[in-house]
Homo-oligomer: A and B are copies of this chain.
């Protein structure tokens, strides 16, 4: 039996995962904003027994699973929002729709050392983290139950992290979530009308304008989006139209690691902020998947999500992206 369920709001398109087991997480329901630095950390090398057995790792080939010797380690979330047991079943009771809480929820532990920020990791380490994302995406998308897979990072308690040891998460879902679905519809609709990708057009506009661009590599561009929700929000986007993150080459992953690391370092040069990032990749098994354009959205949590944002779905941003991009460019690394 699934330990959680997905409930649809009877009025708006908003699903909520009711996952009562997660309230057992360390610090899950406290008001404290920083975890206790002296507590033993279950993500540190040597404490492998405190997590569920690993499903993937980059490790010294002479070391067995679930022992030290790893550089990046992927484990099922100990307090999963969704679990892989059982079939997807939909129940309806008057206006109330429930879906069984079936999914996959994994944690990517990004370093055996107790680092607090991805900005501290070396180029090779970040590259292996991104490669682990790709491998897990490829492995999980063969399960026909999943409709989309989100890969995201919560760094800092105010950004939703319950453990401070540097990590990210993967959630395979039995549905395509609203924000990805809206983006996906907009891209398809624009293509149907113009035969062009809206993100490709946007990149042309950005490169012609230049004010919001931070830096580029051969394959990627880093810029502050025109309608940035948060101060110093950064998009990392492949310049060449490309629908899915799992198709990135090793060469591209190296560039992306460089871009991501430098973005985090530039950001850290301005403000010590909690942050999230999310990889937007095409929903699974979509016949017109070529219309999507994958990218990474880096969201510094400097301003708070308040009543206005929750009520409206809109944001108030106190730093114009043109100013943010200029400041990010000026950081001495």
CB distance from A96 to the nearest CB of B (A): 5
- A154 neighbours in B (Cβ, 8 Å): 304, 306-307
Q: How distant is the Cα of A277 from the Cα of B280 in the complex, in angstroms? A: 31
Contact with B along A261-304 (1 / 0, CB 8 A): 00000000001111011101000000000000000010100111
Contact with B along A3-15 (1 / 0, CB 8 A): 0000111111111
Give the secondary structure class of A's interface.
mixed
Interface residues of A (CB under 8 A from B): 7-23, 28-29, 31, 33, 81, 94-96, 150, 152-154, 157-161, 169, 171, 173, 177-180, 182-183, 186-187, 198-199, 201-202, 205, 225-229, 231, 271-274, 276-278, 280, 297, 299, 302-321, 323
Which of A171, A182, A227: most chain B CB closer than 10 A? A227
Q: Known contacts A28-B303, A307-B277; decide if A178 and B7 are in contact (CB<8 Å).
A: no
Residue of B nearest to A17 (CB): B316
CB-based contact A16/B231 at 8 Å: no
- A186 neighbours in B (Cβ, 8 Å): 11-12
CB-based contact A227/B308 at 8 Å: no
- A311 neighbours in B (Cβ, 8 Å): 150, 152, 177, 179-180, 276, 278, 280, 297
CB-based contact A316/B81 at 8 Å: yes
